Amino acid sequence: MNEKLSFQNITDILVQKAGVSKKVGDTFAKAFFDTLIEALSEGEDSIKVKGLGTFKLVQVDSRESVNVSNGERIVIPGYKKVAFTPEDSVVEVLNGRTDHTEDEVVENTDVSDHTEEEEITNSAEEKSVESVCDDNNNDSVNEEDIESLLQVPEPKHVEQPQDAFGGIDMLISTPESVEEVRQQYEEAKAKMEVAVAEARKANAEKVRLERLLERLEKNVVPEGVHTEDNVVDQTDFADHTDSTDDEVVGHTDEKETSHSGEEKLETPVETESDDESKRQEAFNRVMSEPSQTEEAAPSIDKKSRKNWLIAAIFVLLTVLGTFVYLIYRNIEAVEQVSVAQKTTQPAKPTIPAKPVKPVASKVDKDSLVKAPKVDSTKMVSNAQKESPKPEVAQKPAEPSKPERPKTHRVQRGESLTRISQIYYGTKDSVRAILRVNAFNDPNNIPVGAVVNLP
Amino acid sequence: MTNKEFLETVSQRTDFELKDVKRLSSALIDAVLEVVADGNSVTIQGFGSFEPREKASRKIYNPTTKDYIVVPSKTTLSYKMSATLKDKLNMG
């Protein structure tokens, strides 16, 4: 306790802990602190070291003081210092676990309170509990059977009874409230039954549709993969697959019409075999992605559907992303090219995608005077700067949009800083507020006083 | 500078792998904390000193709810930079 330990003691402990040689531990610890020192003296604002805390460079302003011995006023010059904020975990370690156990105890008592409340409500209103059970049962059934189709109605009937319970805590004491809640419960139950019936209907239809979908998917999934390849890679490979794609699409179209014609699926065996052969055809043609088709084949209804959806979304996003990126690049390239052409006429870059390099190299080859070359590079950099500018200019205009009232009536407990925070989003506008107001005492504004807002 | 950047700089300086640097730095921090948790202070030449500091319990006042809340006393890790580091920072 209260010993003063040095660098050496720390490295000894480090060597023990990490199980490394003394030399390694020593060099590491030295490098660790040297890096900190160097980074800070190079003007790094803050260094975050995980597990320890944040070191921050802080400017201390110069201040006036008095020389104790002769009473003269002196100025203590400002300087920079390193402020350190320990991480929360460090403080926890230093304080042992006493704080933790206290927290836990508090939490436990809270929990026990809750259970007591619940017990009271349970004994008072058995029916409400029944409804909870009903709901739970239905939920579990829904999740298993109806899944995605039920997702819309599900939250509805879970929420309604819960709202009723929220009211129960307050109303429980009077018999009228019991009646009220019962009515609400009755209503909720009726709604729920309707919803469940609807959901069952939907479920039946969904199962039928899913069977249909599964068959169609097996041929559709590889197509989705190919479109992705076409967009992203645009290689020769895509040409090969294009023709097969068309054929596959043709097949699926055929089948879609046939399926929609005989929606009831009276002869599943036949269609199954039919599908089998078609799938085999597609499989053979599209050998390049065997894993995808294999994935699609054995998967269960839900999974395949989900996978397909995810794949579709992914493809859409990538297409959009590349599109936006290309457009952005084109705009930038056109800007750069036009600027470059103005300054150096002999340079005519044919490829718009890489405008900067060709321009520079061509200018070099033509061995023009150095001046235009410098100009072109400057202009290019200007063009690059210009493009982000309009975005920046637009931004500051937006926050001022919400209208703010001209005055504010002071409420109990408020301060000027708080008012400033509310209306301007910063505490720094206090001075501005003070300027347009004439308070007797800015530190003690009476409740109900009206503050003018600049 | 984030923790990651810091560790990368250290690994460049020592020629250790980043993985090892991570392990060693957490061990080093553990060592410092262990020593400080025992109530000792650690002085690192040229950088500064770490020591545990007691913060007394205090009352804080919430002006909107007009409540006084007692914040319990606790120990924190305090750091004081060394004179040499101060000189280094304020040379310019």
Q: What CATH number does the domain containing A80 carry?
A: 4.10.520.10
Average pLDDT over residues A428-439: 82
Q: Give the end of a domain, one of A45, A66, A94.
A: A94
Phi, psi of B20 (to 5 degrees): -65, -40
Q: Which helix (H) or strand (E) holds A374?
A: helix A370-386
Tell whether A335 and A386 lie within a shared domain.
yes
User: Using one digit for the tens of pLDDT, what is the confidence trace for B35-72?
Assistant: 888 888 899 988 999 989 998 999 999 989 888 999 99
Angle, CA A340 vertex, CA A344 and CA A360 arms, to 5°:
75
| Half-sphere CA count of A441, side-chain side, radius 13 A | 5
Going by C-beta distance under 8 Å and a sequence separation of 6 or more, which residues neighbour residue A252?
Answer: A216, A219, A220, A223
pLDDT level of residue A213 (50, 70, 90 thresholds)? confident
Count: domains in chain A: 3
The predicted pLDDT at position A75 comes to 92
User: Tokens standing for A120?
Assistant: 């009271």
Burial class (CB in 10 A: 0-12, 13-18, 19+), A259: middle
| pLDDT over 60 at A135, yes or no | no
The predicted pLDDT at position A402 comes to 56
Q: Is residue A283 part of a domain?
A: no
pLDDT level of residue A396 (50, 70, 90 thresholds)? very low
**Which stretches of B15-82 are DSSP H helices?**
18-37
Which candidate from B10, B45, B78 shows the least CB-CB separation from A32? Answer: B10
Asked whether A218 and A297 are in contact (CB, 8 A), the reply is: yes
Dihedral of alpha carbons A411, A415, A419, A421, sign = negative
DSSP string for residues in A123-179: HH-HHHHHHHHHHHHHHHHHHHHTGGGGTTHHHHHHHHHHHHHHHHHHHTTSHHHHH
Query: d(Cα A372, Cα A94) in Å, to the nearest integer?
Result: 66
CATH number of the CATH domain containing A430: 3.10.350.10
- Comparing B90 with A162, which gets the higher pLDDT? B90
User: Tokens standing for A137?
Assistant: 């049962």
- In this structure, chain B runs to a length of 92
Give chain B positions within 8 Å (CB) of A55. 79
Q: Is residue A62 part of a domain?
A: yes
Sheet holding B48-55, edge to edge: A4-6, B41-44, B48-55, B74-81
Owner of token pair 């600049």: A454
Residue B14's alpha-carbon distances to A15, A32, A41, B18, in angstroms, are: 16, 9, 19, 10
| pLDDT over 60 at A356, yes or no | no
Contact criterion met (CB < 8 Å) for A94 and B36: yes
Query: d(Cα B91, Cα A320) in Å, to the nearest integer?
Result: 54
Asked whether A344 and A304 are in contact (CB, 8 A), the reply is: no
The predicted pLDDT at position B16 comes to 86
Secondary structure of residue A323 in the 3-state scheme = helix
Asked whether B52 and B76 are in contact (CB, 8 A), the reply is: yes
CATH of B3-89, one of 4.10.520.10, 2.60.40.420, 3.20.20.60, 3.20.20.150: 4.10.520.10
- Comparing A76 with A191, which gets the higher pLDDT? A76
| pLDDT over 70 at A129, yes or no | no
Write out residues 39-98 of A within 8 Å (CB-CB) of B: 39-41, 44-53, 55, 57, 79-82, 84, 86, 90-91, 93-95
Query: d(Cα A188, Cα A128) in Å, to the nearest integer?
Result: 11
The predicted pLDDT at position A277 comes to 55
| pLDDT over 80 at B34, yes or no | yes
Contact criterion met (CB < 8 Å) for A28 and B89: no
Give chain A positions within 8 Å (CB) of B2. 48
- Centre a 10 Å sphere on the Cβ of residue A412 and count the other Cβ atoms it contains: 9
Tell whether A420 and A359 lie within a shared domain.
no
Out of A202-211, A315-324, B4-13, least confident range: A202-211
Q: Is residue A174 part of a domain?
A: no
Q: Is residue A37 part of a domain?
A: yes
Contact criterion met (CB < 8 Å) for B6 and A48: yes
Q: Locate the chain A residue with the closest alpha carbon to B81.
A: A82
| pLDDT over 70 at A370, yes or no | no
Tell whether A390 and A408 lie within a shared domain.
no
Q: Is residue A89 part of a domain?
A: yes
Q: Is residue A51 part of a domain?
A: yes
Owner of token pair 């200019």: A393
Q: Give the end of a domain, one of A356, A375, A395.
A: A395
User: Using one digit for the tens of pLDDT, what is the confidence trace for A288-308?
Assistant: 444 444 444 444 566 788 889
pLDDT level of residue A264 (50, 70, 90 thresholds)? very low
Tell whether A360 and A410 lie within a shared domain.
no
Q: Locate the chain B residue with the closest alpha carbon to A47.
A: B1
pLDDT level of residue A340 (50, 70, 90 thresholds)? low
Tell whether A428 and A383 lie within a shared domain.
no
Q: Is residue A342 part of a domain?
A: yes
The predicted pLDDT at position B56 comes to 92
Tell whether A332 and A358 lie within a shared domain.
yes
Contact criterion met (CB < 8 Å) for B78 and A29: no
User: Using one digit for the tens of pLDDT, what is the confidence trace for B4-31?
Assistant: 888 988 888 888 888 888 888 888 888 8
Query: d(Cα B46, Cα B85) in Å, to the nearest integer?
Result: 6
Q: Which helix (H) or strand (E) holds A46?
A: strand A46-49
Give the whole-number percent of chain A exceeding pLDDT 70.
47
Out of A62-66, A90-94, A394-398, B50-54, least confident range: A394-398
Give the single-character DSSP code of A233.
T
Average pLDDT over residues A338-360: 47
Secondary structure of residue B73 in the 3-state scheme = coil
Q: For residue A86, what are the β-bridge partners? A: A53
Residue A122's alpha-carbon distances to A66, A116, A164, A173, B66, in angstroms, are: 73, 10, 13, 13, 37
Give chain B positions within 8 Å (CB) of A56. none
Core vs surface per residue A328-346: b (16+ CB within 10 A) or e: eeeebbebbbebbbebbee
- Comparing A336 with A450, which gets the higher pLDDT? A450
The predicted pLDDT at position A338 comes to 62
B40 touches chain A (CB under 8 A): yes
Contact criterion met (CB < 8 Å) for A10 and B42: yes
- Comparing A430 with A98, which gets the higher pLDDT? A430
The predicted pLDDT at position A127 comes to 42
Q: Is residue A161 part of a domain?
A: no
- Centre a 10 Å sphere on the Cβ of residue B31 and count the other Cβ atoms it contains: 24
Asked whether A232 and A322 are in contact (CB, 8 A), the reply is: yes
B82 touches chain A (CB under 8 A): no
Asked whether A146 and A199 are in contact (CB, 8 A), the reply is: yes
Domain boundaries, chain B: 3-89
Single-letter code of the amino acid located at B71? V
Q: Locate the chain B residue with the closest alpha carbon to A82.
A: B81
- Centre a 10 Å sphere on the Cβ of residue A435 and count the other Cβ atoms it contains: 11
Q: Which of A384, A386, A381, A374 is nearest to A343 (CA)?
A: A374
For residue A433, give its domain range: 403-452
The predicted pLDDT at position A300 comes to 54
CB-defined contacts A:B, below 8 A: 159
pLDDT level of residue A403 (50, 70, 90 thresholds)? low
Tell whether A365 and A441 lie within a shared domain.
no
The predicted pLDDT at position A24 comes to 87
User: Tokens standing for A145?
Assistant: 């059977």
Give the whole-number percent of chain A exceeding pLDDT 90.
7
The predicted pLDDT at position A281 comes to 54
Average pLDDT over residues A272-284: 51
User: Tokens standing for A78?
Assistant: 């400002």
pLDDT level of residue A255 (50, 70, 90 thresholds)? very low
